[in-house]
Amino acid sequence: MTDEERFYLERDRRTRECGVMHGFDLPVRVVVGRDMASSGRGQATVLALINMLARIHRHLHLDIPSVDLLKPSLIPAKRLDEAAATLARAVDPYIRLDDAASSSHAIGLGADAPLGLPWYAGAEGHIAIIGRHPVHFEHGDSLSLGAALTACLAAAAVLRQVLGYDQRPVRLSAWNYREGNDAQHGPELSGPLDVGNVLQIGAGGVGSCLAYWLREFGVVGNWLLLDRDNVVLHNTNRCLGLLPRDAGWRDGQARNKAVAAAELFGASAHALWYDQFDHESFKPDLILPLANERDIRHYVACRGEPVILHATTSLTWEAQLHRHLAPTDDCITCRMPDPKSQVQLSCATVSLEKAGESSTDAALPFLSATAGLLLLSALFRLQLGQLAVEPHNFWAVCFRDVRRHSRPAIYACREGCTTTLPAGVRRKIHAGRRWSHLDVTPMADSNQRPDR
């Protein structure tokens, strides 16, 4: 077995577990319009898309204007086309790159993309758009939630073409997680994210992608990441912030996941499990449980936090956002009762070979990227005081369901649940913390919630 064969065998293991069993070598084309390439926002979107595509597709046709790079990229470069190619090779050292125009699987970015391509992508505010004709892309110096979601939807559109799946135009908001006419542009986000001191538990698929987006948007406050695992090659199929070199490919030393993710946006990291951490050494305003091993979700649920946010992916090609407000929402233990279980919505179906052998870590790059982005959006909503306005506490972006692309839901605790602490105990423990004011509604002794 050659090094290239060994690389793809290991790197693509989790991709295959998500039902992608063929089409890896089919060429796909990315055509970037001049309007898209002329702004920092457009360039960040292009590079995010290339980052995702190179984690699945082994042959890319890149038709990207050679313009000066306006912001530092993940891999140092001076021009946009150079940055895209260098990033693709850093993600996949064996990838084939050329600028040939012959490929039936293609995506055009921006209103200036040429006619004749099967699909196009653009963005307006926090709304991502995938259509059959060139789409306007709103300019800006920095990435927007809608532009980031555009990269995720474009990556999914390319894979669906390769696999021969039906698809339809999309207009989806990264702000209110609705599609079509219900998609909201959302407010203008000025400045970095500021939700206080944050303890992020887990730096795998969703955690690494959240770190990637935080690198783009900026963050205020002290963030501490916990994850004892080192990077392995199959992590790089879905983690936008991880490269094969982080896994030690071919002859280097594998890095710790938390350290690698924290470096992306200037956070701190400890190579520890949650139950090994000295909790007296760091008092967070917010906890993000982005791991599922060692009963982490249950431990966090038992803390009685006023608000818990986390995001997941599923084998049914969904990116999922979870909100847990102490007065009104269910606890994590009731929503995800088993560490190996996953939320499965009826809106998606996918045939998996050897599904019983699939790992709960299996995901695709645009799934993890979208989950991390939904979480980032919820954090901005928290910062702006809009998190509790929404009656739903669960949202899914469905990438396999041609009928709809988003679905909200309301989950409730199981009857007789005793995980959530009584209101008086919660408020006493968490008095004075930044988000304690969200815990304002007395809870019934039975801990009942409204039915779904």
Task: Look at residue 446 and tell me if it is in a domain.
Answer: no
* Cα–Cα distance measured from residue 417 to residue 428, given in angstroms and rounded to the nearest whole number: 21
The reply to whether 412 and 275 lie within a common domain is yes
Task: Look at residue 122 and tell me if it is in a domain.
Answer: yes
Whole-model pTM over 0.85: yes
The reply to whether 159 and 228 lie within a common domain is no
- What are 123's strand-pairing partners? 128, 137
Q: What is the pLDDT of residue 345?
A: 34
Helices marked H in 164-235: 205-217
The reply to whether 272 and 392 lie within a common domain is yes
Angle between helices 145-163 and 365-383 (to 10 degrees): 160
Q: Please report, for the domain that includes residue 282, its CATH number.
A: 3.40.50.720
How deeply is 146 buried, as exposed, middle or buried, from its count of CB atoms within 10 A (0-12, 13-18, 19+)?
buried
Instruction: State the number of CA atoms in the 13 A half-sphere of 388 facing the CB.
Output: 16
For the CA atoms of 281, 285, 286, 291, the dihedral, rounded to the nearest 10 degrees, stands at 0
The reply to whether 398 and 282 lie within a common domain is yes
- Residue 234 near residue 247 (C-beta atoms within 8 A): no
* Cα–Cα distance measured from residue 36 to residue 169, given in angstroms and rounded to the nearest whole number: 20
- Residue 32 near residue 83 (C-beta atoms within 8 A): no
Task: Look at residue 19 and tell me if it is in a domain.
Answer: no
The reply to whether 199 and 326 lie within a common domain is yes
The reply to whether 327 and 396 lie within a common domain is yes
User: Which residue stretches of the chain have pLDDT < 70?
Assistant: 99-101, 338-360, 441-452
Q: What is the pLDDT of residue 293?
A: 85
SS3 assignment, position 245: helix
Task: Look at residue 451 and tell me if it is in a domain.
Answer: no
Q: What is the pLDDT of residue 379?
A: 98
CA angle 145, 359, 370 (to 5 degrees): 5
Residue indicated by tokens 């990269």: 151
| Among candidate residues 135, 157, 182, the one where a domain is terminated | 182
Which two three-digit tokens encode residue 183? 């998609």
* Cα–Cα distance measured from residue 202 to residue 420, given in angstroms and rounded to the nearest whole number: 22
pLDDT digits (tens, 9 = 90+) for 97-124: 986 667 789 999 999 999 999 999 999 9
Measured between its terminal Cα atoms, the distance across the chain in Å is: 52
| Range of the structural domain that residue 215 is part of | 193-438
Query: In the chain, how many domains are there?
Result: 2
